[in-house]
């Protein structure tokens, strides 16, 4: 059974850091691109980062470039999102998604087949 489970969210002050984890089961990260998305109340889901399964190349939305870093540990079947210099506008529910058919990732949510339940990130003083 394919499953993605996010963890690591919480409340953090502006300028702080969090590391999110996306633990995968039922499939190998060797063959599936993984993306991180977020959705704030009243806003559409936003693709913020993803990582290719084939070559590990990473991509970022402009809104997080230079502050967030995606990485993966295939042996642990886990993808991480290190978030630094957090801002109040980063407040959202963060989701990871897995693309069943593509090795090259994208920030388009409709290309992803599996999703986790999400983890809340709140940036506030």
Q: How far is CA 17 from the centre of its chain?
A: 15
State how far the Cα of 34 lies from the Cα of 88, in Å rounded to an integer: 25
What is the full per-residue pLDDT of the chain (125 aa) written as tens digits? 889 999 999 999 999 999 999 999 988 888 889 999 999 999 999 999 999 998 999 999 999 999 999 999 999 999 999 999 999 999 999 999 999 888 899 999 999 999 999 999 999 99
């Amino acid at each position: 059974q394919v499953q993605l489970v996010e963890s690591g969210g919480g409340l953090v002050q502006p300028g702080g850091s969090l590391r999110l984890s996306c633990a995968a089961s039922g499939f190998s990260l060797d063959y599936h691109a993984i993306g991180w998305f977020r959705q704030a109340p009243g806003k559409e889901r936003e693709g913020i980062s993803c990582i290719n399964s084939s070559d590990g190349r990473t991509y970022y939305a402009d809104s997080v470039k230079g502050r967030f870093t995606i990485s993966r540990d295939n042996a642990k079947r886990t993808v991480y999102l290190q978030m630094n210099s957090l801002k109040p506008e980063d407040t959202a529910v963060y989701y990871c998604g897995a693309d069943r058919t593509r090795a090259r990732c994208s920030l388009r949510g409709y290309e992803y087949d599996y999703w986790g339940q999400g983890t809340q990130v709140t940036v506030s003083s």
